[in-house]
Chain A
Amino acid sequence: MTDWVVWPIFTLQLVILVLIFVKEKFRIFGLAPRIWVLILLLVAAIAIVISLSHDSTTILHLHF
Chain B
Amino acid sequence: MKSDFAKWFKELEVIDSVIGVVGVLIILGAALFMQFFYKEQPCPLCLLQRAAFVSVGLSLVLNVRYGNRVTHWAMAILSACAGIAVSIRQILLHIASPTGFGSAVFGLHMYTWCFIGFALIIVGSTVMLLIYPEKR
Contacts and interface: CB of A to CB of B under 8 A. Distances in A.
Contacts of B42: 1, 3
Contacts of A52: 48, 85-86, 89
Interface residues of B, number: 34
Contacts of B111: 56
B58 A38 contact: no
Contact of A37 (B62, B90, B101): B62
Interface in A1-47: 1, 3, 5-6, 9-10, 13, 16-17, 20-21, 24, 34, 37-38, 41-42, 44-46
A31 B52 CA distance: 25
Specify the main secondary structure of chain A where it touches its partner: helix
B75 A42 contact: yes
Given A3-B42, A20-B58, A45-B82, 6 more contacts: A1-B43, A5-B47, A20-B61, A42-B78, A52-B86, A55-B45
28 contacts: A1-B42, A6-B47, A6-B51, A9-B48, A10-B51, A16-B58, A24-B66, A34-B66, A38-B62, A38-B71, A41-B55, A44-B55, A45-B52, A48-B51, A48-B52, A48-B79, A48-B83, A48-B85, A49-B82, A49-B85, A51-B48, A52-B48, A54-B45, A56-B44, A56-B94, A57-B101, A58-B44, A60-B44
